[in-house]
Copies of this chain bind each other. A is one copy, B any other.
């Protein structure tokens, strides 16, 4: 696939989300639930949050994708994540993992490794410190922020992608997306994204919506990040600060057209050594 083909795939995926309105089941953190529900709705999918073992697996069975986000974790939620994840795996529903704060505490790191070990994860999306921690390449996470990235993000992502047979995404100034073989770089985005909480979680929610309609998860993840970054670029024009940026970001995700994605996606393939 060359860049033109990729852009077209991204645009088609967005169009397909709008046409089919896939249900995206989120087991996610309290801080960002409202934002990620809205982002899911604005891009054209249907969000639902259901976190108790009494219904998590049943809800997943109805969904087109499952988000597992460990931002505010507790043991009961991990149980629900495992149940929902297994149901997703049985039914061929893609699981998208957001390892919020992996590396900051042992509990977060261990939970991520447990989820990665026990489930087939379609895509894992984190910052440089989180993915660095999980890959063993290093990186330092303070709270939920990457305060020290890895020297070679593509290599760290590749290690994780190989080990768990999962598309691995490191978002940052340049977003890296790899399945262990192919490596895509997405350059859409805006620095305002670093000023709001949950910007990574919203990216993950969009990756899930795209993965619900695009079976090549490398393409799905890169397409979601291009769309998100593009909306951020448009939103930046309306921003008077981080909160008005966030409002504009959500507005622009809603109004983003497949045509804008086809024209504005800045993606390239990285040559591997």
Residues of A within 8 A of B (CB): 23, 25, 29-35, 37-38, 41-42, 46-52, 54-55, 58-59, 62-63, 71-76, 101, 104-108, 142-145, 195-198, 238, 240-244, 246-252, 254-255
Question: Which B residues lie within 8 Å of A196 (CB)?
Answer: 38, 41
Query: Which chain B residue shows the least CB distance to A76?
Result: B74
Nearest 5 Cβ contacts at the A-B interface: A241-B251, A48-B143, A243-B250, A55-B107, A52-B74
In the complex, the answer to whether B247 meets A59 with C-beta atoms within 8 Å is no
The residue among A47, A49, A107 with the most chain B CB atoms within 10 A of its own CB is: A49
- 19 A-B pairs in the complex with CB atoms less than 8 angstroms apart: A29-B49, A30-B33, A37-B197, A38-B197, A42-B243, A46-B142, A48-B101, A50-B72, A52-B74, A55-B73, A58-B107, A59-B105, A62-B142, A195-B254, A240-B248, A240-B251, A241-B248, A242-B250, A247-B247
In the complex, the answer to whether A197 meets B41 with C-beta atoms within 8 Å is yes
Contact of A42 among B54, B105, B195 (CB under 8 A): B195
Question: Which B residues lie within 8 Å of A37 (CB)?
Answer: 31, 197-198
Question: Which B residues lie within 8 Å of A144 (CB)?
Answer: 46-48
A178 to B131, CA, bound (A): 45
Question: Which B residues lie within 8 Å of A34 (CB)?
Answer: 31-32, 34-35, 197-198
- Given A31-B37, A35-B34, A243-B250, are A143 and B107 also a contact pair (CB < 8 Å)? no
The residue among A25, A35, A244, A248 with the most chain B CB atoms within 10 A of its own CB is: A244
A35 to B33, CA, bound (A): 12
Question: Which B residues lie within 8 Å of A197 (CB)?
Answer: 34, 37-38, 41, 47
